Amino acid sequence: MGVKIKMNLCFFEKSVGELILILEFFSARWINLQGFLNSPYLFWVSFNRKNGTIGKTSIKEIENQFGVRWLFHENEEVDIALIPFPINPETDDVMLISNELFGSFEKLSELYEVFYLSFQPGISRYGRVEPIIRTGVISFLDNDNKIFYIDGFVFPGNSGGPVFVKPSPIRFDNNDIVIGGNDPLGWKMVGVINSLIYSSLPVEGNLFYNNTGLSIVRSIDFVNEILSQDSSKRLLEKIVERERTKE
C-alpha cells in the first residue's frame, strides 16, 4: 500500500512473467487536470521497507525510472486511472491483493456489508504506512453504469481505496436471502472508492456543504477492462522486457 498526502493508493498484484507489478489507482479527472500535469512532483508513492523505513518517491520519478505512464479506460466517463510499476520483493514490504480476489459487479446486491481501506491525511500510526478501516452497506446499485453507493463516510484523500465484501453467514442469491454456509463474495474486492456525495444548504446567502455519508464506488470490473485494453497489454509487456534486460 502507498500513503500520504494528495492520493490514496490501492495496490494489487498483477503477475507478468517473473515480475510482480504494482498498480496504483487514482481519479482520472484529477490526473487530467492541466494544473496537476504542470506539477510533476505533486503526487508521491510511499510504502514500507523491510528494514523498518518508509520509501518515498514521486510519480514523476516512477515514470522516468520505469518508462511507465497512466492508463485510462477507453470510456472517458470511467473515473479511474492506474499506473503500473515493479517492486523489489527483497526490500519492499508491500501487502498485495491478488486479482483472484476480484468480485464481479453482477454478483452484488443491496444490503451487502462492505469494508474499505483508506489513508486519512493527518493520521499516522506506528511510524509505518498503514491504512484505516471503515465499514458500510451497499445502499444502491447503478447497473447501467456499474457503480454502487455505500452508506459509509469517505473524505478527500480517500479516493482509490479498495472496497471488499465483509464475510457474513447471510448472503444474497437470486434476490433471495440465504442464511448459513459460506458466501463466495466474502473477502472479495468489488470496487474502488470514487467520491463522496455532498448536500448543500443555503444559510443567509451562503451555501454550506455537508458530507451525506453516502459514497460512490466504481466496480472492479473497470480495472479488469483497463488491463484488457491493447494499449495496457503493450505497456505491461514493455515493462517486463525492460526489467529483464537489467538482469
For 15, 72, 191, 225, the CA distances from 229, given in Å and listed in that order, are 16, 10, 19, 7
pTM above 0.85, yes or no: no
SS3 20: strand
The pLDDT of residue 36 is 52
The pLDDT of residue 163 is 94
Residue type, 21: L
The pLDDT of residue 2 is 32
How would you class 186 by CB atoms within 10 Å of its CB: exposed for 0-12, middle for 13-18, buried for 19 or more? middle
SS3 199: strand
How would you class 51 by CB atoms within 10 Å of its CB: exposed for 0-12, middle for 13-18, buried for 19 or more? exposed
What domains are defined for the chain? 13-97+223-244 (no CATH), 101-219 (2.40.10)
Q: Which residues of the chain have pLDDT under 50?
A: 1-13, 16-19, 34-35, 37
Distance CA 141, CA 32 (A): 27
The pLDDT of residue 40 is 53
The pLDDT of residue 3 is 27
Residue 151: phi, psi to the nearest 5? Answer: -85, 85
Query: Are 108 and 134 within 8 A, CB to CB?
Result: no
Query: Are 152 and 213 within 8 A, CB to CB?
Result: yes
Of 245, 232, 218, 247, give the one whose Cα is nearest residue 21. Answer: 232
Residue that the C-alpha cell 486479482 belongs to: 99
Of 184, 189, 135, give the one whose Cα is nearest residue 160. Answer: 189
The pLDDT of residue 218 is 93
Residue type, 78: V
